[in-house]
Amino acid sequence: MITAFIKRKERKTPTVETIYFEWDSGILPGQFVMIWVPGVGEIPMSISHIGREKAFTVKNYGPTSAAIQALSPGDRIFFRGPYGRPFQTVSGRILLIGGGSGMASLHPLINNSSFGLVAARSKEEILFADEFTDENLIITTDDGSEGIKGNVIEGLKKIDLKKFDMIYACGPEVMLYNAYLYFRKIGVNAQLSLERTMKCGIGICDSCSIGGFQLCRDGPVFFMNELEEMQEFGNFKLTYSGKRVKI
């Protein structure tokens, strides 16, 4: 188990915080760690800031993430990793599509010319939109409180996808599946970072598997051609017990 100390915290939305910590390690965009709160639990966490200063950006959605947000600067954090296959970076113009806290794993890819399609439930939950210039940003919200009302596809329709050298997307699986179908229709390549129930993080427990691939080890980033052969993508997943359920 690796230990580090929290340096500072930034509240990003009513439910999301960025937590900065000191860790002298090479980590690549899209990789994650398994973060442990002793006595509470352990969850996967993508690293949102990978420069000299590291940070993760955590949404409060359960007991362990709530316990992480309750920590203060100076407190110790416990984690193992980094794990997972990172995003493959390309030179040229990139489009980043993030749904909700999915923006966190895309954050390391943001550069001066990147275009952002930031999707959220409502205005309050929009994450990292302020890191894109106005002309390089489209926002969609489910409730229409900011930007285009509707899901990420409504935003995609406003963008000429063919002018990008690579498209990166992260968010809920339903959103990613719809985006995947849209990319396929338009005929563009993309890298999608998926999320599923994860226990071991090292490719042996089978909890996060999708179509025979272990998301924690073969992914979480997958290319379009890999997603094509995964019968379960956007379709079925296993619960914490291993029970097959429709997505």
Partner 1 sequence: MKDSSLKTEIASLKLENPHILASGILDENGYTMKKILEEGAAAVVTKSIGMDERNGYQAPVIADAPAGLINAIGLANPGIESFGDEIAIAKGSNRPVIGSIFASTVEEFANLAIRMQKYRVDAIELNLSCPHVKGFGSEVGSDPDLVEQIVNELKLKVPVPIFAKLTPNVTNILDIAKAAHKADALVLINTVRAIRIDIHARMPVLSNIYGGLSGPAIKPIGLRAVYDVYRETGFNIIGVGGIETHEDAVEYIMAGARAVQIGTALMTKGRKIFGELNSNLLQFMEREGYSSIDDMVGIGVVK
Cα–Cα dist 239/104, whole Å: 24
> Which of residues 55 and 230 has its CB atom nearest to partner 1 in the complex?
230
CB of 146 to partner 1, least distance (A): 35
**Of 90, 130, 115, 119, residue with least CA distance to 221:** 90
Handedness of CA 154, 160, 162, 165 (dihedral sign): negative
> Which of residues 3 and 113 has its CB atom nearest to partner 1 in the complex?
3
CB of 214 to partner 1, least distance (A): 7
> Which of residues 2 and 28 has its CB atom nearest to partner 1 in the complex?
2
CB of 230 to partner 1, least distance (A): 8
Q: How far apart, in Å, are the Cα atoms of 210 and each of 113, 176, 194, 230?
A: 33, 14, 10, 6
Per CB under 8 A, residues contacting partner 1 are 1, 3, 34, 36, 38-39, 41-43, 76, 78, 80, 199-207, 209-214, 217, 231-232, 238-244
CB of 202 to partner 1, least distance (A): 5
* Contact criterion met (CB below 8 Å) for 222 and 236: no
> Which of residues 125 and 218 has its CB atom nearest to partner 1 in the complex?
218
Report whether the peptide linkage leading into residue 29 is cis, meaning its omega lies within 30 degrees of zero: no
CB of 222 to partner 1, least distance (A): 14
> Which of residues 42 and 195 has its CB atom nearest to partner 1 in the complex?
42
SS3 state at 3: strand
